[in-house]
Amino acid sequence: MQGLKEAIDRTGYYPEVVADGVMRAVAGEDVVSFFVHHEPTFEREEVRRHLTVVVLTPSRLILAHTDEHEGDDMLPAPYTSTSTEAIALSSVKSVVVTRMVTNPTDGPTPPAEAVLTIGWGGVSRLDLEPATCGDPECDADHGYTGTMSADDFSIRVSAAADGPDAVPSLLSFAESLSARTHS
């Protein structure tokens, strides 16, 4: 738990607010593994910050997202919003890890980028395209073909953008999650 709080503090992004939301979602469970990702975004002429915290407990996967907002009609002062989601590990259906390695002919080297995609059936995407028969002269309607994929959560990090520890940290978290998900 202490390492998680320190990682949140290092981002400098409203650490007390973020830690409060995350700790309430963890609800006293032990923290097995975690990953903290600070991602600034550009909105017109302003920089907005976004923080994602992913926590693995013995029984759950916790996702926390914190964003900052300028004031609006309902809340005139600038504010943050933190959303947390707790997913039972028994519900996790897929853990997809993609590693991007540069100059692969040089042999094994640490990945320069990594993507972690986790699916538990909360969100599904259907990609359709017209089906063909392979005959370039054919103009018959062959219906549609496509793929359906579950990608409830996806995060991509790179050593160049996020620092040298980001990719190994994400891969370590992914390994911990993958080892604890089974049917």
Closest to 93 in 3D by CA, of 114, 121, 116, 126: 121
Question: What's the Cα-to-Cα distance from 150 to each of 128, 177, 180, rounded to whole Å?
Answer: 15, 17, 19
Which amino acid type is present at position 15?
Answer: P
Closest to 99 in 3D by CA, of 167, 177, 180: 167
| Cα 95 to Cα 56: distance, rounded to the nearest angstrom | 13
Confidence check: pLDDT of 136 > 90: no
Neighbours of 119 (CB within 10 A): 19
Mean residue pLDDT across the chain: 90
Instruction: Read off the pTM.
Output: 0.81
Instruction: Specify the range with the lowest mean pLDDT, choosing from 51-55, 115-119, 130-134.
Output: 130-134
- The secondary element (H helix, E strand) that includes residue 179 is helix 166-180
